[in-house]
Structure 1
C-alpha cells in the first residue's frame, strides 16, 4: 500500500501519563479492539489518533460482509460495494495509527489478580496479548467475553423453535459503552449498533470517545479538560483575542476547579497541554490544500483503475484537452 497522504495520530495526550508515557509500558497494548467492521475500525481510529497504542483484531468475517451492497452509508451517493468499504475502513484505521491484524480472538480474561488490572487476550493463531482496555465490536459473537462477569448478567437465553439458545445481552453495556467490568467497553453487540452499518460506526466512535475521556480522568485531568474533540479548523478562524495564548490560559484556568487535586506544576502542565491541543486544531491554507490533495489520492487507491481512466477521459472530453495536455505536456 502506498504511503501517499498517510496520516497519523493527533497530538492528543490520552496516551501520556503524568510523566510515565504510554500505558503500553505495563501492557503489550493500551487498547485491543475485537472486530474489524464499522464499529471496531471507527473505535480504533479515535483511540489511536489520541495516542493510545491500539490493535484491531479482525477475524475476516465481519457481519457487514453478508451484505451485497450498501446504499445508505453516508458519503457514498452512488452506494459502495463491501470490498471497497472494508478496504477503506482498514486503511483509515492503519492511517490513524492502529495495527490491523487478521486473527480471531478466542477469549479475553482478566490479568492477574492484585496486578495493575487489564486483560489477557487469547488469539486463534498469535501469542496472547495483554491490554489495559478492551473494546468489543463484534455484532454476533460475544462468547469470547464469557467469564469476565457473571454469565447471568452478560448473557440471555431465548427460545428458537424447540431449542433454547444463549447469546450476549445487547443491553449489558451502558449507552456510552461502559460495563460493570473495569476497562471493558462494548460497541457491539448492542441494540443500537446492530441495526445499520453507519449506526455501528457511530457507536464505535462514541464508545472510543468515552474510553479516551476515561483515560484522561485517570491521569488526573479535571472533568472540564478531559473532554475529547478531534477536528481541524482553518487558521483564519484563530483571530482576535483567541489568537493570544494568555487569553487561553485565562480561559482554561477558569475551568479548573479550585478544589482540583493538582499541585501547581501539574495544573500548569495540564493547562498548557490543553492549550496546545486547541492550537494544533488550526491549519493554514497550504496545509489544508496539501491534506485535501493527499486525501483524494488516498481515495483513488481504492477505486478501480478502469473507472479512473474512464473518468479521466470524460473530464478531458469536457475540457477539450488531450491526455498529454492535461498532464502539462502539450505544446
Structure 2
C-alpha cells in the first residue's frame, strides 16, 4: 500500500505548506483540475487514506454556467459559485491538500516509482496522476500520454482511456470532460468517483466500499466489518445529522 498520513484539519494550502511539500514528500495521488471530476475523485481517495494533492489553476469550466439546475440534491438549483465553494470545502474536510499553482509539466521520478509534478511554485512527487483539466493536455505530453482531437470540434485535444480510466501510460488516469465525458457537472463528478474507485481497488484490493452503516449491522449476518466500512451508533448518527444540518444552514445563511 502507498504511504498514508493521518487526516488533519484542512484549509487552502498556504505558502509554508507549499515549501514543506516542494521536494521530498511523496504523495499517493495528484489531481490536475478542481472541478466536479477532480474533486469527487479526491474525496473518495482521501477517505480511503490516500495522500491527495489537488492542483487548482482557478479556471474551472463551471464559471461558464449561469445557474446549476440539474445536480441531484438541489431541487431548486444552486449557483455555480456556491457549488464550487461546497465541493472545495468537502475536499478539505475529507483530507485533500489544495495547491494553487499552474502545472507546467509532469515527468517520471528518477527512481521510476512515480511522477514528478513541475509547477510554477515548486515540484511534488506522487504515485499516480489523474487528469481532469478540461481543454488543457499539454502538461501530459512529456509523459507520452496519447491525446486525440475532440470529435465534435477538433479544436481541443482529449485523452483516450480504457474502461478503468487508465491512459496509455501506466499510473496516469483521466476522468471527466477531458475524456469526452458529457459536459454535465453531475456526470463528471460520477466519472471522477468511478476512476477513484479503480485506483483504490488497485492499491487496496480488500477495500469494500466507503460506507457508513448502523452499529452491529454486520454482526447480524455473522460477518466481520469489511475494509472501508464504518459502523456508528445511533447517538453518533444523530450527532452527524445535526452537525451536517448546522453546517449547511450556516453556509447558505452566509450567502444571503
TM over 0.5: yes
Give 2:144's match in structure 1, choosing from 149, 162, 171. 149
Q: Is the 8 A contact 1:37 1:64 kept in 2?
A: yes
2:158 paired residue number:
169
**Structure 1: tracts of 5 or more residues without a match:** 1-13, 249-274, 308-331
2:167 paired residue number:
179
Structure 1 residues 122 and 30, CA gap change in structure 2 (3 angstroms): same
Superposed, 1:72-91 pairs within 5 Å as: 72-91=70-89
Q: Is the 8 A contact 1:27 1:132 kept in 2?
A: no
1:123 paired residue number:
119
1:252 paired residue number:
none
3-state DSSP class of the match of 1:73? coil
Greater percentage in strand: 2
Give 2:253's match in structure 1, choosing from 298, 304, 318. 304
- Cα displacement string for residues 138-182 of structure 1 (whole angstroms, at most 9, x for unaligned residues): 1221121112126xx32338897xxx84x4234x11132112211
TM-score in terms of structure 1 length: 0.66
2:68 paired residue number:
70
Give 2:185's match in structure 1, choosing from 181, 194, 197. 197
3-state DSSP class of the match of 1:76? coil
- Cα displacement string for residues 263-316 of structure 1 (whole angstroms, at most 9, x for unaligned residues): xxxxxxxxxxxx4636x5211110001111111222234213475xxxxxxxxx
1:32 paired residue number:
30
Flag the structure with larger Rg.
Answer: 1
1:139 paired to 2:89 = no
Q: Is the 8 A contact 1:44 1:54 kept in 2?
A: yes
Structure 1 residues 87 and 235, CA gap change in structure 2 (3 angstroms): same
Question: Quick one: distance in 1 between partners of 2:150 and 2:42?
Answer: 31
Question: Quick one: distance in 2 between partners of 1:236 and 1:28?
Answer: 38
Structure 1 residues 132 and 305, CA gap change in structure 2 (3 angstroms): closer
TM-score in terms of structure 2 length: 0.83
2:98 paired residue number:
100
1:281 paired residue number:
230
Q: What is the Cα deviation at residue 123 of structure 1? A: 1.2
Question: Quick one: distance in 2 between partners of 1:84 and 1:90?
Answer: 10
Structure 1 residues 306 and 158, CA gap change in structure 2 (3 angstroms): closer
Q: Is the 8 A contact 2:214 2:232 kept in 1?
A: yes
3-state DSSP class of the match of 1:302? helix
Q: Is the 8 A contact 1:73 1:79 kept in 2?
A: yes
1:290 paired to 2:239 = yes
Greater percentage in helix: 1
Structure scoring higher RCO (CA < 8 A, sep ≥ 6) equals 2
Q: What is the Cα deviation at residue 39 of structure 1? A: 0.5
Q: What is the Cα deviation at residue 132 of structure 1? A: 0.9
3-state DSSP class of the match of 2:175? strand
Q: Is the 8 A contact 1:87 1:302 kept in 2?
A: no
Q: Is the 8 A contact 2:214 2:231 kept in 1?
A: yes
